[in-house]
Amino acid sequence: MRLRNIPGANEAVAASPYCIQNAAEHRGQWHAFFENDHPIHIEIGMGKGRFLMDLAALHPEINYIGIERYTSVLLRAVQKMDTLQLPNVHFLCEDAAKLPEIFAPEEVDRIYLNFSDPWPKDRHARRRLTSHEFLDRYDQFLTADGRLEFKTDNPDLFTFSLEEIETSDRWHLNASTRDLHHDPSMNEGNIMTEYEEKFSSKGNPICKLIASR
């Protein structure tokens, strides 16, 4: 999908106090950045930020960092934060492949992946955020008892993700469902994203898995 360029998005993101510049300089020092020792949860591919900001409002005892590669998308989250001003939320405009350069070992407690790009062509499989390549990256900075939570409406991507975890020698599957909204145990406390509302309203079942190391 071609993203619409929004004039001024780069400048607005760079100027926002909620967007962290030169993120690699904080590697190993993220608790100092937040000025507390609260757990750090990140969402990779956060889009317009509704999911992350809803979580942050409910859990002020957790620090949240949203990662979004495109400024034209991140701009929408910045605009929301101008109103909400949540102290426990910040954003990074970064490529997910660079995250081990930004977070030190044992620095992140939870990773959220919501409705990630499925990269449907086989030759692009390594770009999927649940591929072995990315699981290896997450392993470099997730805490020993940390976990990964992944939601999608794409059944093929979900099957791929399950297989990547099940064939990994460092990750294991804690729970999974192919119909989240009709699974009482996994849907309890579920926070929906904009995409999730859109897809589920059309009758698309939502898949979710939870994995840890």
The pLDDT of residue 3 is above 80: no
Whether the predicted pLDDT of 6 surpasses 70: yes
Asked if pLDDT for residue 38 goes beyond 80, the answer is: yes
Q: At 135, is the pLDDT very low, low, confident or very high (cuts 50, 70, 90)?
A: very high
28-37, 100-109, 113-122, 194-203: range with lowest mean pLDDT? 194-203
The annotated binding site for S-adenosyl-L-methionine is made up of 43, 68, 95, 117
CA-nearest of 159, 163, 179 to 118 is 159
Confidence band of 4 (pLDDT split at 50, 70, 90): low
Helix axes 132-139, 155-166, angle to 10 degrees: 60
In this predicted structure, the answer to whether residue 1 has a pLDDT above a threshold of 50 is no
Residue 170 reports pLDDT greater than 90? yes
Residues 163, 166: Cα–Cα separation, whole Å: 5
Q: What is the domain partition of the chain in residue ranges?
A: 40-212
pLDDT in tens, 62-118: 999 999 999 998 999 999 998 898 999 999 999 999 999 999 999 999 999 999 999
Q: Which residues are annotated as a binding site for substrate?
A: 121, 153, 193-196
User: Could you identify the residue written with the tokens 């660079």?
Assistant: 98
The confidence score (pLDDT) of residue 56 equals 97
Residue 200 has pLDDT above 70, yes or no: yes
Residue 130 identity: T
Q: Which residues are annotated as a binding site?
A: 43, 68, 95, 117, 121, 153, 193-196
Q: What is the CA radius of gyration of the chain?
A: 17
* Catalytic site positions: 117
Residue 2, pLDDT above cutoff 50: no
* Domain covering 40-212, topology: Rossmann fold (3.40.50)
State residue 108's pLDDT score. 98
Taking the complete model, does pTM exceed 0.85, yes or no?
A: yes
Q: Are 61 and 38 in contact (CB under 8 A)?
A: yes
Contact predicate 108/143, CB 8 Å: yes
7 pLDDT above the threshold of 80: no
Mean pLDDT of the region 148-156: 97
What gap in Å lies between CA 156 and CA 160, rounded to an integer? 6
| Position with higher pLDDT, 6 vs 4 | 6
Higher pLDDT, 203 or 26: 26
Average confidence score pLDDT of the chain: 94
